[in-house]
Structure 1
């Protein structure tokens, strides 16, 4: 059986449906289910119960979301969904919605929990918490709590901010948790999900994600046909793997453009040209557009405005590149209508993608795109997460030095200068960033740290003393984080001697900086980048 035939057969299986209530993690829930060997799809909460049940789901998972179940306009539960004989699992908002719909009580207790929390198992359980310890680390993000479980449910766990943090009705095959089992920071989250799927819902492992590459190659060929394609190549993991996928699909129809927008880190341009262009066999054209971008950013300090300006200028740059490529081809009336982007699912959800999702920040390649966009986008990674993209890259033969790179945002240092983006501020940040990266590499921490944004607070000054004299310099923020998929993150506990060396070097070698601080905020409530 071919991969394509296998895919069709598997898609005909009864899916586990993730009902999306505007969650930041809906796609992650579906992915965790797929990792467990069960096929999963996402449906919006606006889909009628009749249509949801018409998909013949093997089970239903109700996602989290930003609403309160008792608030006006909040997504409502339908009792018919719970009377259809389908196993249901609720997460965060979905947990509260299940309780509320089935006669339990949800209230704002004043005991909000965000980030790492300890859950205590308070009842004997042979369902989805079996095989997990009585005390376990979980990842919370809630203000409301279930104060009374519905009739027929057994309360399984509690936390300091939620007396009812998990419950189950094994007879009806219902269950749920207040925390987010889909994120890696919930230590036994995958165990709980798999226990629900197999112990409570009675499902079997019948699905594999090993055909992602073949699926995407087929889709790209169908979308592009014989037309020419250009790719927005940054040299990072996402755009590099997207380019490799498209090249596998359409070969020399692809030309990659690397735009030097003047917002790169020290040595970035040379690294891309050397590591990617010389090893992948893909045509790469470098274009210096630094003056265009710095001119567009002049006087802008508001983060959303920065991202939209950068997104707009990227598209304008690619439109210019398109015209030049057509002229070089010498084909009268030719057109290039396809633009490849390395957009990932976290970019989409943070930009408000998906029905009911909150707009956290507009990524330059999603919410930052101009309304008059003339390209048709090719985004083969749009439903994937970073670790999945790395795995695909390795299978495609993308060099390890690219696949293993720490993420670097498309807007570059433009969103790491808090304040006005100008050449002076960029030079200060570049110097500090280069020192931090050099010391982290020397300490062997490149693989331990997911990402370490170095941030310049250009609009802030503090008094210092250097050489027996008063200084009035800028602070630099170090933001080392550990993560797997960028949807959640925790700050990395770095050795003090490494932090001290970075701080000493920056304050000694970068004249405009007299203070280095460490950001110890998890995500949530913070995002990985400051803007």
Structure 2
């Protein structure tokens, strides 16, 4: 039995089904390669309207079949006048559907409709005060002079026929424009980012007032529809679920159990890369508190052998993904048979593995892969299971809401994200038993002190990274030559972007002192102050 791939036809059918269930309250985002495209989708969902990110190649005919209430054109890294830049189907302007172009999306709108865009002598990056010329529709209730986030080197210098000026900034004469009659709008700034103070209000104005969407994208609506889709897809067949103990797999387990009951078998494969004491805690919670049976498989030695000598990050992920599935296949033969494998894949996993920007007609991938996630890019082509991934279109904050609605306790709902490959990708270089022990001890100290200082829920993630180098130190009047530990503590809303946490110096001092004094093999602690982008949250 081969992997069941999501074909262009089935993708469209799923979107149609979901749209029908939500009374056609759907906003389509056409992605032109912006790092913020999925953030736009998340903001639309924050105002309780379902959104779907599609490739910029998606034809007007396909969009028409989806019957969206509105379209948003994302920004992108290209200049509109470069060769072979991404272009949308010009027929979308005739769909009589409200359209909002953001940054590059605005430039594309202007150019295709007869206006003019040119490279500016002075780019505009960062915060800018928005001076509003017309408060109608899009900018209703937006405060004059509010801060919006700019990131552009091109600007509109002539509006197309029928367009009016809505707002300007000191450096951008056409910061927001509109054709009210055709409901076409363009903004030079990025309303989706947190730095844009009135950004969410603008998106709400477009979605609710201009597109006339109703707030139907709620946790209750998602859970009810997900249960229907799971039952319809799985039928009477048996499902194997990879349980990790995180909010994603735990929410998935609760959702699947509610949908199909004893057709579900949860298996926890301890690949040896979990944090200290986590396997024991997980088994106790699910068996004693949740009364959901879990099959425990100790495969630590197997995974260590498979990774022996491997240092390249992508290769690590692929090996872990392959071995994970192979172990599952062995378990399934012993406990099964099983037809489906349930996974807690989320939207950011798909996005960073470049598996979301796909032309529904040609299957062409648009985005550049950042890294393979073990449950997306690391799966073998000859996978013997069909996949069921009901959380695939959710962001982390949405999963937390779903988890709460299903009765998950806060200690799991608020659990910080932990990568599927576990500590294996927090050890830079080869993964060995010795290095795992060092990192586990250091990581435990980080978590203990973050908790003790009441900052656990204030951080998106707080963890330790072990580097493969050694440095000289002095301990007890003796020279040491040991590993450095990197502290990585970040804040984020959804994991798509992140900033390093400005934690108190005294906390960093306590963590550093404890690690150096208590963890054998470490003599130095450093703090990573890189945001995402340009870095990623994990080091591999």
Q: Structure 2 length as normaliser, TM-score?
A: 0.87
The answer as to whether partners of 1:96 and 1:106 remain within 8 angstroms in 2 is no
Q: What SS class does the counterpart of residue 447 from structure 1 fall into? A: helix
Aligned to 1:352: 354
* Partner residue, 1:100: 111
Give, in whole Å, the separation in 2 of the partners of 1:348 and 1:164: 38
Do 1:77 and 1:101's aligned partners in 2 also have CA atoms closer than 8 Å? no
How far has the Cα of 1:147 moved from its partner? 5.4
2:509 alignment partner, one of 500, 515, 521: 500
The CA distance in 2 between the partners of 1:500 and 1:286, in whole Å, is: 38
Match of 2:130 in 1: 121
8 Å CA contact 1:14–1:55 kept in 2: the answer is no
The 5-angstrom pairing of residues 383-422 of structure 1 reads 383-422=393-432
Q: Pick from 316, 336, 343 the counterpart of residue 341 of structure 1.
A: 343
- In structure 2, how many angstroms separate the alpha carbons of the residues matched to 1:108 and 1:8? 41
Question: For the structure 1 residues 198 and 231, does the alpha-carbon distance in structure 2 shift closer, same or farther, using more than 3 Å as the test?
Answer: closer
Secondary structure of the 1:348 match is helix
User: Residues 75 and 498 of structure 1: is their aligned pair in 2 closer, same or farther, counting only changes over 3 Å?
Assistant: same
Q: Quickly say closer, same or farther: Cα 1:423–1:14, change in 2 above 3 A.
A: closer
Paired with 1:363 and 1:430, the residues of 2 have a C-alpha distance of 22
- Distance, in Å, in 2 between the alignment partners of 1:393 and 1:62 is 31
Distance 1:78 1:319 in 2: 44
Contact 1:7–1:211, Cα closer than 8 Å, also in 2: no
Deviation for aligned residue 1:135: 5.5
Secondary structure of the residue aligned to 1:163 is coil
Contact 2:29 2:74 in 1 (8 A): yes
Q: For 2:248 and 2:173, how far apart are their aligned partners in 1?
A: 40
Deviations 1:450-486 (A, max 9, x none): 111311112x333333333333332211111112221
Correspondence for 1:463 among 472, 479, 482: 472
Q: What TM-score comes out, normalization by structure 1 length? A: 0.88
2:457 counterpart SS class = coil
Q: Find the counterpart in structure 2 of residue 175 from structure 1.
A: 185
Deviates more, 1:382-391 or 1:469-478: 469-478
Cα deviation, residue 11, structure 1: 4.1
**CA distance in structure 1 between the aligned counterparts of 2:440 and 2:77, rounded to whole angstroms:** 37
- 1:250 partnered with 2:260: yes
Relative to structure 1, is the Cα distance of residues 53 and 166 closer, same or farther in structure 2, using a 3 angstrom cutoff? farther
Counterpart of 2:363 in structure 1 is: none
Question: Per-residue CA shift, 1:229-272, capped at 9, x if unaligned?
Answer: 11100011101111111111111111111111111111111111
- More moved, 88-97 vs 285-294: 88-97
Q: How many residues align?
A: 510
- Report what 1:330 is aligned to: none
> Would the alpha carbon gap of residues 14 and 282 (structure 1) be closer, same or farther in structure 2, given more than 3 Å must change?
closer
* Correspondences of 1:357-396 after superposition (within 5 Å): 357-396=367-406
**What does 1:427-506 correspond to in 2, within 5 Å?**
427-458=437-468, 460-506=469-515
Name the structure 2 match of 1:69.
Answer: 80
Q: Which runs of 5+ in 2 are unaligned?
A: 1-16, 359-365
Return 5+ residue gaps in structure 1 as ranges.
Answer: 1-5, 327-334
Going from structure 1 to structure 2, the CA distance change for 1:164 and 1:230 (only over 3 Å counts) comes to farther
SS of structure 1 residue aligned to 2:72: strand
What is the CA–CA distance in structure 2 between the aligned matches of 1:299 and 1:23, rounded to whole Å? 37
Structure 1 runs (4+) deviating above 6 angstroms are none
Distance 1:365 1:9, change over 3 A: closer
CA shift for structure 1 position 435 = 0.8
Q: Distance in 2 between the 1:454 and 1:87 partners?
A: 47
SS of the aligned residue for 1:479 comes to strand
Equivalent residues of 2:492, 2:499 under 8 A apart? yes
Higher mean displacement: 185-194 or 245-254 = 185-194
Distance in 2, matches of 1:304 and 1:374, equals: 23
